[in-house]
Amino acid sequence: MYKIVKAKELTTNIYLMDVEAPRVAKHCEPGQFVIVRMDEEGERIPLTICDYNREKGTVTIVFQTVGAGTMMMAHLKEGDSFHDFVGPLGCPSELVKEDQETLKQKKILFVAGGVGAAPVYPQVKWLHEHGVAADVIVGSKTKDLLILEKEMEAVAGNLYVTTDDGSYGRSGMVTQVIKDLIAEGKQYDVCIAIGPMIMMKFVCLLTKELEIPTIVSLNPIMVDGTGMCGACRVSVGGEVKFACVDGPEFDGHKVNFDEAMRRQQMYKTQEGRDILKLEEGDTHHGGCGQCE
């Protein structure tokens, strides 16, 4: 059992938990994720690691209530436990593999949309701890839905907050902030964008035009988290990949976002899964228990 040592609601329908998981905390790196289950019969829920403390043996997760499983999780409190807390899974951020002196010379931009601030934070924090400054754009629909602002401000080189409705910070989409920064003379060697699929799509369209290499995290499309269900099948540069085992980070300029978003919607129903099986043939990827 994995004890919850901290549980709080960050904002409407978005929750943070610190969980005792010493083995995961010891080995995890920014960009990876865990799979949690509340009991033996519970739903498998993949969640990106938001933070970790190796000394205390804790891992921080942030989640939004989007289905029955996460709604049940929201009722857990300090002292409760998860039956399973499996990880670290997925590949670490490419940044942690780079030579640190080379990294210090790079101008890095992070773009976080909504709950995407949670997986962006550990990467920016890791860079900060290794003497690398990065600019961060955090976008939210409204001020009330903004999360981790103070935490991000403490580790970012420059933090730019924007809200769709203009209720806080700058007004408008994250793409407008990117345009504004470039117009102000900013230059970037790489962009890391994490958030809703539609946001990442339009960030990538813009950064491709601006010739800024861009990495995206496709954790939003994961379901099973082991490569068995095929829900996170995505085309990257014309090749079939699975976000949970091949990613979750990919070259954003090579991701077929339209295909991925279409699959997200179709996968929700049995009819949709049947259609995908016919369309994708041998590359559909079985094992989900829904295809036979």
Segment 73-114, tens digit of pLDDT: 899 999 999 999 988 988 888 888 888 888 888 999 999 998
Same fold, 2-89 and 100-216: no
269: pLDDT strictly greater than 60:
no
Q: What is the pTM of this model?
A: 0.84
Split at pLDDT 50, 70, 90, the class of 285 is low
Give the C-alpha separation, 74 to 64, whole Å.
Answer: 9
6: pLDDT strictly greater than 60:
yes
231: pLDDT strictly greater than 60:
yes
292: pLDDT strictly greater than 60:
no
Parse the chain into domains and list their residue ranges.
2-89, 100-216, 218-285
Q: Residue 235: what pLDDT?
A: 82
In percent, the amount of the chain with pLDDT more than 70 equals 86
Domain 100-216 has CATH 3.40.50.80: yes
Strand partners, 47: 34
Q: Residue 273: what pLDDT?
A: 55
Q: Residue 271: what pLDDT?
A: 59
Among 141, 135, 125, 183, residue whose Cα is nearest residue 160: 135
What digits encode the pLDDT tens for the residues 106-161?
999 999 998 899 999 999 999 999 999 999 999 999 998 999 999 999 999 999 99
Average pLDDT for the chain: 85
Q: Residue 191: what pLDDT?
A: 96
Average pLDDT over residues 200-212: 95
Give the C-alpha separation, 127 to 150, whole Å.
Answer: 17
Q: What is the DSSP string of the chain?
A: -EEEEEEEEEETTEEEEEEE-HHHHHH--TT-EEEEESSTTSPPEEEEEEEEETTTTEEEEEEE--SHHHHHHTT--TT-EESEEEEEESPPPGGGGS-HHHHHHS-EEEEEEGGGHHHHHHHHHHHHHTT--EEEEEEESSGGG--SHHHHHHH-SEEEEEETTSSSSEES-HHHHHHHHHHTT---SEEEEES-HHHHHHHHHHHHHTT--EEEE-GGG-SSSSSSS-TTEEEETTEEEEHHHH-SEEEGGGB-HHHHHHHHHHTTSHHHHHHHHHHHGGGS---SSS--
Burial class (CB in 10 A: 0-12, 13-18, 19+), 209: exposed
Among 227, 224, 226, 207, residue whose Cα is nearest residue 216: 207
Split at pLDDT 50, 70, 90, the class of 234 is confident
Q: By the 8 A CB rule, do 241 and 227 touch?
A: no
> What number of other Cβ atoms are within 10 A of residue 168's Cβ?
16
Rounded to 5°, angle at Cα 32 from 8 and 74: 25
222: pLDDT strictly greater than 70:
no
What digits encode the pLDDT tens for the residues 24-74?
999 999 989 898 988 888 788 888 899 999 999 999 999 988 878 888 889
Give the C-alpha separation, 231 to 266, whole Å.
Answer: 10
Domain 2-89, architecture per CATH: Beta Barrel (2.40)
267: pLDDT strictly greater than 80:
no
Please report where in the chains the tokens 């960030």 appear, as a residue.
203
